[in-house]
Amino acid sequence: MTSASGQSFSELREAVRALCATFPPEYWRNLDAERAYPEAFVRALTQAGWLSALIPDEYGGAGLGITEASVILEEVNRSGGNAGACHAQMYIMGTLLRHGSPEQKQRYLPEIASGALRLQSFAVTEPSTGSDTTKLKTTAVRKGNRYIVNGQKVWTSRVQHSDLMLLLARTTALPETKSKSDGLSVFLVDLRASIGAGIVVRPIRNMPNHETNELFFDNLEVPAYNLIGEEGKGFRYILDGMNAERILIAAECVGDGRWFLEKAATYARERVVFDRPIGQNQGVQFPLARAYVNVEAADLMRFKAAELFDRGEPCGAQANMAKLLAADASWEAANACLQTHGGFGFAAEYDVERKFRETRLYQIAPISTNLILAYIAEHVMHLPRSY
Ligand SMILES: Cc1cc2nc3c(=O)[nH]c(=O)nc-3n(C[C@H](O)[C@H](O)[C@H](O)COP(=O)(O)OP(=O)(O)OC[C@H]3O[C@@H](n4cnc5c(N)ncnc54)[C@H](O)[C@@H]3O)c2cc1C
C-alpha cells in the first residue's frame, strides 16, 4: 500500500526505516514482556542524529523542521516500534530553546543534541487536578538563590531514563494572580542531583510498556538560575510547546495506523477460512478500507499543521485537529486489525495486541480527546467555554 498524501520525504524515510529494521518485532515484543526500556534503540536513534532533529545547527542539532521530525517518529511506529519511549527528547527542549537564557541554551543544548544529556521528562499532571492544569498544587518558593519545591506529580514519563526534567510549579498562589494562567513557572531540574535528595520516584505499572512515574517533592532545592524565562509566565511557555507535541504524536498515530493496516491486509490475503481468503469478504474488507481512508485524511491534517508550524504561523487548531483525527484513525485501524486476526490477534507473537495497547494511550495523553473537542468548540467555533 502507498500513502495517498503525496508527502514522501523518501530519503529520510528510507534512512529511518533502515535503522528501525535492525530492531525487529521480537526486540519490541521481548521488551514488552520484560517491561524494559528500549535502551539500545534509543541509543541508535540518538547516534544517528534523529532525536536532535529540532535543535538548530548552532547547538549541534540537525536543524530540521517539525515536518521532518514528524516523519522520523512516524517511521518508528510504522516499523512496529514505539517512539513514545523517546519522542520527548525531540520536543521538550523547545521550551529551553524558545525561552531559556543564552547561557542556559549554550550550557545544555549541545549536550542534549549529542545525547550526552537526556531531557525527556516533563512533570505537569498532578493526581488531584488532572486536566485542570492551572490548578496544580506543586509550589516553588524562592529562598535566596534557590527555589524550594514541594508537592506531587503523576504520570511523569521517562524519569528513570532522563538526566534533566522540566517541571511546572506554582510560584504565586492562585488567589494572588490576575489570571489563573499567571503565577506558574518552568524549571529545569537536574534529576541526577535530585532523585533521593528531594524527589522520590515511584514507578507506575501501566497498560503499554511505558516508563512513567509518580513523583513526590519534599523540599527539593532548585538553583534559581534553572528557572526558564520569567517567573510566573511558565504556563504560556508550555502552551508554545504543545503544538509541536501534538503534531509529532499525530504522526506517530499515522505510523501506527499504517502498521495495523499493512499487517491486517497481509493477514486477510493469506488466511483462508471457508475455502477462501477472509479478505475476500466485504465484512472484513470494509472496516479496513474505512480505517485506511481515515488514516490518510488524518495524515493530510498532520502535514497541514506541520507546514504552518514550520512557517511560524498559528497552528493551534490544526495541531489539535491532527492529533484528534490521527488518534481516532489509529484506534480504528487497531480495532479493525485485531478483528481481522480473529483469536490470533490476542497472541503476543503477532504484535497486534501490543500495538493495540500502545496506540490506545493517545486518546488520553498528552491531552484527552474531550479536551481537544472543548478547545475546538471554544477557540475555533467561538462557543461558550464549557468548563
Ligand atoms: C502512560 C501515560 C503517560 C503520561 N505521561 C505524562 C507526562 O510525561 N507528563 C505529564 O505531565 N503527564 C503525563 N500523562 C498524563 C496525561 O497528560 C493525563 O492523563 C491527561 O492529560 C488526562 O488527565 P487525567 O488523567 O488527570 O484525566 P482527568 O482530567 O481526570 O479526566 C478524566 C476524563 O474526564 C474527561 N474530562 C475531564 N474534564 C472534562 C471536561 N471539562 N469536559 C469533558 N470531558 C472532561 C477527560 O477527557 C478524561 O476522559 C501521562 C498519562 C499516561 C496515561
Residues 34-54 have a mean pLDDT of 98
Q: Over 80: is that where the pLDDT of 166 sits? A: yes
Nearest-atom index, ligand 1, CA of 88: 8
Confidence of residue 48 (pLDDT cuts 50, 70, 90): very high
Q: How many CB atoms lie within 10 A of CB 65?
A: 15
Nearest-atom index, ligand 1, CA of 204: 1
Q: Over 80: is that where the pLDDT of 108 sits? A: yes
Choose which residue among 184, 371, 386, 387 to substitute to test ligand 1 binding: the one with the highest number of ligand atoms within 8 A of its C-beta.
371
The per-residue pLDDT for 167 is 98
Backbone angles phi, psi at 219, to 5 degrees: 55, 40
Percent of the chain topping pLDDT 90: 97
Confidence of residue 32 (pLDDT cuts 50, 70, 90): very high
DSSP code string of 32-56: HHHT---HHHHHHHHHTTGGGTTS-
The per-residue pLDDT for 115 is 97
Residues 260-264 have a mean pLDDT of 99
- Residue-wise pLDDT for 292-337, tens only, equals 999 999 999 999 999 999 999 999 999 999 999 999 999 999 999 9
What is the C-alpha to C-alpha distance for residues 173 and 342, in angstroms, rounded to an integer? 55
Ligand 1 centroid vs 147 CA: distance in angstroms? 27
Residues 7-32 have a mean pLDDT of 95
Of 284, 154, 166, nearest to 235 (Cα)? 166
For the chain, give the longest Cα–Cα distance: 79
Q: What is the DSSP letter of 299?
A: H
Backbone angles phi, psi at 56, to 5 degrees: -60, 155
Q: Over 90: is that where the pLDDT of 3 sits? A: no
What is the pTM (predicted TM-score) of this model?
Answer: 0.97
Residues 81-101 have a mean pLDDT of 98
Ligand 1 centroid vs 367 CA: distance in angstroms? 6
Q: What is the DSSP letter of 173?
A: -
- For 203, the grid coordinates are 514507578
Name residues whose C-beta falls within 8 Å of residue 296's C-beta, 6 or more positions apart in sequence: 3, 4, 5
Q: What is the mean pLDDT of the chain?
A: 97
Ligand 1 centroid vs 179 CA: distance in angstroms? 22
* Closest residue CA from atom 2 of ligand 1: 155
Q: Over 80: is that where the pLDDT of 1 sits? A: no
Choose which residue among 124, 125, 186 to substitute to test ligand 1 binding: the one with the highest number of ligand atoms within 8 A of its C-beta.
125
The per-residue pLDDT for 149 is 98
What is the C-alpha to C-alpha distance for residues 238 and 94, in angstroms, rounded to an integer? 9
- For 15, the grid coordinates are 534512512
Confidence of residue 39 (pLDDT cuts 50, 70, 90): very high
| Bridge partners for 157 per DSSP | 212
**Rg of the chain on CA atoms, in Å:** 21
Ligand 1 centroid vs 176 CA: distance in angstroms? 27
Ligand 1 centroid vs 242 CA: distance in angstroms? 14
Choose which residue among 131, 156, 361 to substitute to test ligand 1 binding: the one with the highest number of ligand atoms within 8 A of its C-beta.
131
- For 11, the grid coordinates are 530519503
Nearest-atom index, ligand 1, CA of 371: 47
- For 3, the grid coordinates are 500513502
Confidence of residue 44 (pLDDT cuts 50, 70, 90): very high
Nearest-atom index, ligand 1, CA of 130: 26
* Closest residue CA from atom 19 of ligand 1: 365
Element (H, E) at 247: helix 234-270
Confidence of residue 240 (pLDDT cuts 50, 70, 90): confident
The per-residue pLDDT for 8 is 75
- Residue-wise pLDDT for 221-231, tens only, equals 999 999 999 99
Choose which residue among 360, 364, 373, 385 to substitute to test ligand 1 binding: the one with the highest number of ligand atoms within 8 A of its C-beta.
364
Q: Is the dihedral of CA 370, 373, 378, 382 positive or negative?
A: negative
Ligand 1: lining residues by beta carbon, under 6 Å: 122-125, 130-131, 155-157, 206, 210, 212, 361, 364-368, 370-371, 374, 387
Name residues whose C-beta falls within 8 Å of residue 99's C-beta, 6 or more positions apart in sequence: 186, 228, 229, 237, 240
Confidence of residue 185 (pLDDT cuts 50, 70, 90): very high
Cis bond upstream, residue 366 (ω within 30): yes
Ligand 1 centroid vs 133 CA: distance in angstroms? 10
Confidence of residue 211 (pLDDT cuts 50, 70, 90): very high
Ligand 1 centroid vs 373 CA: distance in angstroms? 14
Ligand 1 centroid vs 219 CA: distance in angstroms? 26
Confidence of residue 80 (pLDDT cuts 50, 70, 90): very high
CB 257 within 8 A of CB 333: yes
Nearest-atom index, ligand 1, CA of 370: 47
Ligand 1 centroid vs 131 CA: distance in angstroms? 5
